């Protein structure tokens, strides 16, 4: 049981109070400094625990029952998957594997232990009085936290513990500490665990003006984009760039799909600039994709070919720093700074009281209905047109439409009953994954062919390596073909009459009002 | 959970001192440790400053309350993390008679400990001297007997008696017996001679011996385990090495 010691009461005065009523012996319980770690998106907190490190020990503490695991770790933690195996690592959720464990807070503690004694001078209750200060590595801010008193009972001495609890609660009037130290420290710097997520979670109001709501959506995306800049430039882990690119792609999709709500001439420049961001960040992302998949690549080959693939990894890594430097340069450039500044200005400017843009003043729900309807019909039309001998370009087009539809549904999710739209998005993701596999595997295969040629030209690939890469490309193309073969079945699930009835029920409700515009 | 009993037919040989100090050292190494004081004289209980009182006495322990919870209710935390105690009670002087009444009498201790399987890594049973139903129950519950032996001719005879008794008990065939020299005074020729001879006859003798030391006697003044107040004293170091040896000779 832990209590907060009110501001006016010093630890010494408190000790005096306890001594007045009980026979106690006090001793120093030592100083400690604990660093708390989590992934940028708080995956560990979400998985139900705190990860901390102090004096070369890494600890996992469950949020629910405070059960704890420990393992030695001398250095600062890096990527979650690079932690040495051990009981703490076993607790980490799999989705954290590729993320860096970032320092979220440091807390210094000085503690005194009061042992309450009986007439034999036997310890019957332990009372830990601790004072704390914090240091936020992100903002650089620091300060003191409320001191705490913790009652630790001794087995078989429940009466003594209850007596002490009564003294602490009734006589001293201390209140229970409800929040963990970490959360209290975070609150002091205006944060809460879980305050960043890459998932879009917008709460929109359907009756509001379309242009205002669209700005709200875009502003949320801008926040996500900006939150990931530092980690991307520093290369903390691959997901910063990934999230930054997703935010960019969603922004571009919103700009082209939620219309007509802004004057086209204003948008044109932003569209162009965000396309540049997308393009300037592409190279590193490609390398990330290969490197993340590299172990799987190797595993897909027969055992004797696996080591032959190593020069490919080295080649990719050798280009990485250069591409990463280029990326960092782009994100630190004047062009990028100006873009974000102008974009923020635009989003923060209140919408005009009247607008000549036809959709601007409509309720957002009406605009959303129309856009989703159109896109859903387009996906269905394009999908139905695909035959066994269709050109790959057609599947590519279909994928683009699917993505637009998915983004639209995700932007406007809160305007529709959650239970109804969720399965539609989920189903669409299945279709998108299929199309994504089909296209990405082909792109990867052909890119690897290019890389093989370059490696060969630079004299960095022995014939055995080239053969292994050939086998890899073959495997990728085989999987690509499998994705192609599976397409019609996956599409049929989307184009199912019942599924379509769901679309109709959700998005065709405002049709009547729409015919006039 | 491994169960160790400190035992000798003879009294005053250092059984309790060994149980208390080894239990303390085990706990300090991070093993969740329980020490059960089976001796109505309550010496171990005294060393830990616990009142020698078990609610309901031995009777209630053996009858058991709710299923398996009988020991749970009487365990006391000591001043040392990871080390708990089942205190002795004066009524334990009749434990023999009570065991006799209980059916499957010599299985009783084991049965009482079984529910604590997941709570403790090591359990020490500090036995009273002499062969009785209590000690027999402790033998049946234990994985090993730690037998302090003062290196004299007389002690050799009691050790022989003990080993003969154990050999006559089929049910105790797997019990490991680990004798070690206790209260050794290297100025006494008899001690030195016995220490040379006995291990030849009984190779299971542990190599560590505990010296006779006034530091050990002072446990009664400090009322705590020796390594807690004199961690670097020769006797404390000897207990440390004894514990290392005992651990190593136990099955994993
Ligand atoms: N190594 C030692 N050096 C000096 N004194 C010791 C040593 N070991 C034990 N003693 C003392 O000898 C006495 C008997 O020791 P202890 O209680 O440990 O023996 P015991 O075998 O448990 O006795 P009992 O048969 O009465 O239970 C105690 O006063 C104890 O302090
Ligand atoms: Mg004794």
Nearest CA to ligand 1 atom 18: B14
Q: Report which ligand 1 atom has the smallest distance to the Cα of B213.
A: 3
In sequence order, what are the residues at sequence separation of 6 or more whose Cβ sits closer than 8 angstroms to the Cβ of residue B54?
B60, B61, B74, B86, B87, B88, B89, B91, B92
Q: Please report which residue ranges of A118-178 form alpha helices under DSSP H.
A: 158-166
Specify if A115 maps to a domain: yes
d(CA A236, CA A323): 15
B positions 63-102 inside 8 Å of A (CB): 74-77, 79, 84
Position A28 scores a pLDDT of 86
Among B35, B36, B49, B72, most A C-beta atoms within 10 A, so best to mutate, is: B49
Per-residue pLDDT of chain A (517 residues; tens, 9 = 90+): 899 998 888 878 888 889 999 999 998 888 999 999 999 999 999 999 999 999 999 999 999 888 899 999 999 999 999 999 999 999 999 999 999 999 999 999 999 999 999 999 999 999 999 999 999 998 999 999 999 999 999 999 999 999 999 999 998 899 999 989 999 999 999 999 999 988 899 999 999 999 999 999 999 999 999 999 999 999 999 999 999 999 999 999 999 999 899 999 999 999 999 999 999 999 999 999 999 999 999 999 999 999 999 999 999 999 999 999 999 999 999 999 999 999 999 999 999 999 999 999 999 999 999 999 999 999 999 999 999 999 999 999 999 999 999 999 999 999 999 899 999 999 999 999 999 999 999 999 999 999 999 999 999 899 999 999 999 999 999 999 999 999 999 999 999 999 999 999 999 987 545 443 4
Instruction: State the distance from the centre of ligand 2 to the C-alpha of B21, rounded, in angstroms.
Output: 12
What residues of B are in contact with residue A120 (Cβ under 8 Å)?
Answer: 49-51, 223
In sequence order, what are the residues at sequence separation of 6 or more whose Cβ sits closer than 8 angstroms to the Cβ of residue A8?
none
Reduced to 3 DSSP states, what percent helix, strand and coil does chain B have, rounded to the nearest 5? 45, 15, 40
Domains in chain A: how many in total? Answer: 2
- Spatial CA neighbour of B39 closest among B112, B96, B121, B106: B96
CA distance B72 to chain A (A): 9
Instruction: State the distance from the centre of ligand 2 to the C-alpha of B17, rounded, in angstroms.
Output: 7
The arithmetic mean of pLDDT across residues B164-187, rounded, is 93
Position A515 scores a pLDDT of 41
Position B64 scores a pLDDT of 60
Write down the residue that tokens 């329980």 correspond to: B34
B79 to A123: CB separation less than 8 angstroms, yes or no: yes
In sequence order, what are the residues at sequence separation of 6 or more whose Cβ sits closer than 8 angstroms to the Cβ of residue A23?
A116, A117, A118, A121
- Spatial CA neighbour of A331 closest among A246, A230, A250, A198: A230
Instruction: State the distance from the centre of ligand 2 to the C-alpha of A224, rounded, in angstroms.
Output: 70
Domain edge (last residue) among A163, A188, A213: A188
- Spatial CA neighbour of A514 closest among A375, A366, A409: A366
d(CA A104, CA A121): 43
CA distance B3 to chain A (A): 21
Q: Which two tokens stand for residue A136?
A: 């936020």
CATH number assigned to the domain comprising residue A102 = 2.40.320
What residues of B are in contact with residue A156 (Cβ under 8 Å)?
Answer: 74-77, 84
- State the count of interchain CB pairs (< 8 A) between A and B: 26
The arithmetic mean of pLDDT across residues B116-127, rounded, is 95
What residues of A are in contact with residue B223 (Cβ under 8 Å)?
Answer: 120-121
- The answer to whether A31 and A108 have CB atoms below 8 angstroms apart is yes
pLDDT band of B177, cuts 50, 70, 90: very high
The chain B residue lying nearest A116, using CA atoms, is: B79
Position B96 scores a pLDDT of 72
Does residue A260 have a cis bond before it (omega within 30 degrees)? yes
- Spatial CA neighbour of B130 closest among B100, B101, B105, B93: B93
Instruction: State the distance from the centre of ligand 2 to the C-alpha of B134, rounded, in angstroms.
Output: 14
* Residues across chain A: 517
pTM of the model: 0.79
Q: How far apart are the first and last CA of chain B?
A: 10
Right CATH for B2-51+70-249 from 3.40.50.150, 3.40.50.1000, 3.90.45.10, 3.40.50.300: 3.40.50.300
Domain edge (last residue) among A188, A217, A251: A188
- Spatial CA neighbour of B235 closest among B154, B176, B148, B126: B148
Instruction: State the distance from the centre of ligand 1 to the C-alpha of B195, rounded, in angstroms.
Output: 19
Specify if A195 maps to a domain: no
Domain edge (last residue) among A135, A159, A188: A188
The chain B residue lying nearest A119, using CA atoms, is: B49
Specify if A212 maps to a domain: no
The chain B residue lying nearest A122, using CA atoms, is: B49
ipTM of the complex, rounded to two decimals? 0.87
Q: What is the DSSP letter of A273?
A: H
Specify if A267 maps to a domain: no
Residue B69 has pLDDT above 70, yes or no: no
* CA torsion angle A447 A450 A452 A456 (round to 10): -160
Nearest CA to ligand 1 atom 11: B217
Residue B68 has pLDDT above 70, yes or no: no
**Pick from B49, B51, B75: which is nearest to A155 by CB?**
B75
Specify if A227 maps to a domain: no
From B216, B223, B224, B225, give the residue whose CB has the most ligand 1 atoms within 8 Å, as the site to mutate.
Answer: B216
In sequence order, what are the residues at sequence separation of 6 or more whose Cβ sits closer than 8 angstroms to the Cβ of residue A52?
A34, A35, A36, A37, A58, A59, A61
Specify if A264 maps to a domain: no
Ligand 1 surroundings by CB, under 6 angstroms? B 11-17, 39, 43, 129, 182-183, 210, 212-213, 216-217, 219-220, 235
CATH number assigned to the domain comprising residue A465 = 1.40.20.10
Specify if A268 maps to a domain: no
CA-CA distances (angstroms) from residue A291 to A189, A473, B198? 37, 15, 68
* CA torsion angle A333 A335 A340 A346 (round to 10): 160
* CA torsion angle A467 A470 A475 A481 (round to 10): -150
Nearest CA to ligand 1 atom 9: B14
State the DSSP string of A16-85: HHHHHHS-EEEEEEEEEEEEEEE-TT-HHHHTTEEEEEETTEEEEEETTT--EEEEE--SPP-BGGGSPS
Domain limits for position A44: 2-188
- The answer to whether A32 and A102 have CB atoms below 8 angstroms apart is no
d(CA B102, CA B113): 16
Specify if A14 maps to a domain: yes
């Amino acid at each position: 049981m832990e209590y907060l010691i009110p501001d006016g009461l010093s630890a010494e005065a408190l000790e005096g109070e306890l001594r007045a009523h009980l026979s106690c012996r006090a001793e120093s319980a030592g100083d400690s400094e604990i660093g708390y770690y989590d992934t940028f998106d708080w995956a560990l907190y979400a998985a139900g625990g705190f990860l901390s490190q102090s004096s070369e020990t890494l600890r996992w503490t469950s949020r629910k029952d405070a059960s704890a695991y420990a393992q030695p770790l001398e250095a600062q933690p890096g990527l979650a998957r690079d932690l040495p195996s051990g009981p703490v690592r076993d607790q980490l959720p799999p989705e954290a594997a590729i993320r860096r464990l970032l320092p979220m807070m440091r807390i210094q503690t000085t503690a005194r232990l009061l042992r309450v004694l009986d007439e034999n001078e036997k310890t019957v209750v332990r009372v830990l009085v601790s004072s704390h200060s914090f240091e936020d590595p992100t903002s650089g801010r620091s300060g003191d936290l409320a001191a705490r008193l913790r009652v630790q009972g001794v087995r078989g001495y429940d009466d003594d513990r209850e007596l002490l609890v009564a003294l602490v609660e009734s006589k001293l009037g201390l209140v229970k500490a409800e929040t963990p130290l970490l959360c209290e420290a975070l609150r002091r710097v205006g944060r809460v665990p879980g305050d960043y997520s890459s998932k879009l979670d917008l709460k929109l109001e359907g009756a509001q003006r379309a242009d205002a709501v669209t700005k709200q959506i875009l502003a949320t995306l801008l926040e996500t984009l900006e939150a990931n800049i530092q980690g991307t430039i520093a290369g903390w882990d691959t997901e910063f760039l990934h999230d930054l690119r997703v935010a960019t792609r969603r922004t571009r999709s919103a700009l082209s799909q939620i219309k007509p709500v802004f004057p086209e001439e204003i948008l044109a420049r932003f569209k162009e600039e965000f396309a540049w961001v997308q393009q300037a960040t592409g190279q590193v992302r490609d390398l990330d994709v290969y490197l993340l998949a590299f172990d799987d690549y190797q595993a897909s080959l027969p055992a004797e070919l696996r080591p032959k693939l190593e020069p490919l990894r080295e080649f990719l890594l050798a280009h990485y720093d250069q591409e990463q430097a280029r990326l960092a340069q782009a994100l630190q450039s004047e062009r990028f700074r100006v873009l974000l500044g102008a974009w923020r200005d635009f989003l923060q400017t209140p919408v005009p009281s009247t607008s000549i843009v036809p959709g601007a003043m409509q309720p957002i729900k009406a605009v959303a209905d129309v856009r989703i309807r159109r896109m859903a019909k387009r996906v269905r039309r394009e999908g139905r047109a695909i035959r066994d001998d269709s050109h790959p370009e057609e599947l590519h087009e279909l994928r683009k439409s699917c993505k637009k539809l998915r983004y639209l549904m995700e932007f406007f999710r809160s305007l529709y009953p959650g239970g109804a739209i969720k399965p539609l998005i989920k189903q669409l993701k299945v279709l998108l994954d299929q199309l994504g596999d089909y296209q990405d595997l082909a792109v990867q295969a052909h890119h690897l062919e290019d890389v093989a040629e370059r490696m060969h030209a630079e004299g960095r690939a022995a014939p055995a390596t080239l053969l292994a890469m050939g086998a890899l490309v073959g495997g990728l193309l085989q999987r690509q073909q499998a994705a192609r073969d599976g397409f019609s079945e996956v599409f049929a699930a989307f184009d199912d009459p019942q599924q379509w009835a769901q679309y109709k029920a959700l998005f065709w409700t405002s049709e009547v009002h729409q015919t006039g515009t | 959970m491994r169960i160790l009993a400190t035992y000798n037919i003879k009294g005053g040989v250092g059984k309790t001192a060994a149980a208390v100090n080894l239990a303390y050292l085990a706990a300090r190494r991070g093993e969740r440790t329980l020490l059960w004081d089976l001796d109505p004289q309550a010496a171990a209980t005294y060393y830990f400053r616990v009142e020698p009182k078990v609610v309901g006495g031995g009777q209630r322990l053996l009858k058991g309350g709710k299923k398996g919870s009988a020991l749970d209710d009487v365990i006391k935390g000591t001043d040392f993390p990871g080390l708990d105690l089942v205190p002795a009670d004066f009524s334990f002087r009749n434990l023999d008679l009570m065991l006799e009444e209980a059916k499957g009498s010599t299985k009783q201790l084991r049965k009482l400990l079984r529910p604590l399987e997941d709570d403790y890594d090591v359990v020490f049973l500090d036995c009273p001297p002499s062969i009785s139903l209590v000690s027999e129950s402790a033998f049946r519950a234990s994985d090993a007997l730690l037998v302090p032996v003062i290196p004299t001719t007389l002690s050799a005879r009691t050790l022989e008696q003990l080993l003969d008794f154990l050999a006559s008990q089929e049910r105790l065939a797997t019990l490991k017996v680990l004798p070690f020299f206790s209260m050794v005074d290297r100025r006494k020729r008899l001690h030195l001679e016995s220490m040379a001879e006995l291990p030849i006859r009984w190779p299971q003798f542990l190599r560590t011996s505990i010296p006779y030391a006034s530091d050990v006697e002072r446990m009664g003044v400090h009322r705590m385990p020796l390594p807690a107040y004199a961690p670097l004293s020769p006797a404390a170091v000897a207990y440390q090495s004894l514990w290392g040896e005992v651990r190593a000779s136990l099955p994993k």
